[in-house]
Amino acid sequence: MLCNTLNITPETGEISGECCICKKHTETGFKKKFSGNFTCADYISTGEVICPECQYLVKNSNEYRRTMFLLTEDELIKFKKKEAKDIVFNLPNKPFYIYLTKTWQKIGWIRMNEVYNTSNDGIINFLIDYDIIHTSMDTLKKHYDNIHILRELKIPKTVLETGKLEMHHFNKIKEEFDMKTARKFSKYLNSINNNPVYDLALYLED
């Protein structure tokens, strides 16, 4: 899709086989050869060639690992962390891929073929560095709204990362709302350990 959107005709090679990145069969592939900074051997262990489209990505790897992007058939939108929230909550209702990064250097795009979305409805596949997150937008929004409320109460991001509320944070929620709400949030934060969707929502909130 990337090459189509950007109107690029990738160079072709002469080897046929299964592409180690997108797993598609190609008749015009290249020899599988990666430079030392490709540290993701797990994702490219099957397949013996690289297809022309993926070869283009490999060549331009530095560009695509140092940005977040939204790719549709019409355009490639690159964006920064502070724009991520707007992009994520306004996904297009047509086929797309979305890539986010926390490291700005991992070559997560290598898993792009696993995160195709047909529309903004239902379960969305996000790729964040090497991690794939499947979630409905409702679930993500719910976490995001909860986090937003807690951040408005000046509860530090570090506390929200661990989910361990201190007494004075608990009291803050109680003062702002009531005891029931404070207990609800406390219980909620106890439940979000190792929840990748919550982590994504927290990442989007700044």
Note the residues at the interface with Zn ion (CB under 5 A).
19, 21-22, 51, 54
Question: Based on CB atoms, which residue is closest to Zn ion, 8 or 123?
Answer: 8
* Relative orientation angle of helices 196-204 and 81-88, to the nearest 10 degrees: 120
The distance of closest approach from Cβ of residue 20 to Zn ion in the complex, given in angstroms and rounded to an integer, is 8
Helix ranges, 49-136 (H): 52-59, 61-65, 81-88
Question: Based on CB atoms, which residue is closest to Zn ion, 51 or 197?
Answer: 51
Question: Based on CB atoms, which residue is closest to Zn ion, 21 or 192?
Answer: 21
Question: Based on CB atoms, which residue is closest to Zn ion, 54 or 110?
Answer: 54
The distance of closest approach from Cβ of residue 114 to Zn ion in the complex, given in angstroms and rounded to an integer, is 12
Compute the distance between CA of residue 174 and CA of residue 180 in angstroms, rounded to an integer. 8
The distance of closest approach from Cβ of residue 34 to Zn ion in the complex, given in angstroms and rounded to an integer, is 13
CB atoms within 10 A of CB 104: 12
The distance of closest approach from Cβ of residue 66 to Zn ion in the complex, given in angstroms and rounded to an integer, is 21
Q: Dig out the tokens for 172 from the structure.
A: 């803050």
184, burial (CB in 10 Å: exposed 0-12, middle 13-18, buried 19+): middle
Strands (E), 39-187: 49-50, 68-72, 76-79, 96-100, 123-128, 131-136
The distance of closest approach from Cβ of residue 95 to Zn ion in the complex, given in angstroms and rounded to an integer, is 18
What's the first-to-final CA gap in the chain, in angstroms? 31
Question: Based on CB atoms, which residue is closest to Zn ion, 4 or 103?
Answer: 4
